[in-house]
């Protein structure tokens, strides 16, 4: 049992070591990947706005139906 605890603690310590001391990645971001990321962000914002607008309009319609003043027939 003690041997298993030593293995688990050593794995945790190594994981923390590698996570806290990052190295440079020297990664290349080409314009296409940046453009794709921008499109995803813009689509998410527009989708959220449409979703909120639809929700607000359905809530307005609900309350308008409830509190609608009826006019007497002539």
Q: pLDDT tens digit string along 9-59?
A: 899 999 998 888 877 878 788 889 899 999 999 999 999 999 999 888 888
pLDDT of residue 74: 63
pTM higher than 0.85 for the full model? no
- Domain ranges for the chain: 25-68
Q: How confident is the model at residue 72 (pLDDT cuts 50, 70, 90)?
A: low
Res 43: pLDDT: 97
Q: Which residues of 31-41 are buried (b: 16+ CB within 10 A; e: fewer)?
A: eeeeeeeeeee
The one-character DSSP state at 67 is S
pLDDT score, position 50: 92
So what's the pLDDT on residue 63?
87
Helix locations, 1-74, DSSP H: 2-20, 31-66
């Amino acid at each position: 049992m003690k041997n298993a605890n030593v293995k688990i603690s050593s794995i945790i310590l190594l994981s923390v070591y590698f996570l806290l001391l990052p190295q440079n990645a020297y990664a290349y971001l080409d314009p296409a990947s940046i453009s794709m990321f921008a499109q995803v962000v813009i689509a998410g914002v527009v989708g959220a706005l449409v979703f909120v607008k639809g929700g607000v309009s359905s809530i307005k319609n609900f309350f308008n139906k409830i509190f609608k003043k009826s006019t007497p027939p002539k």
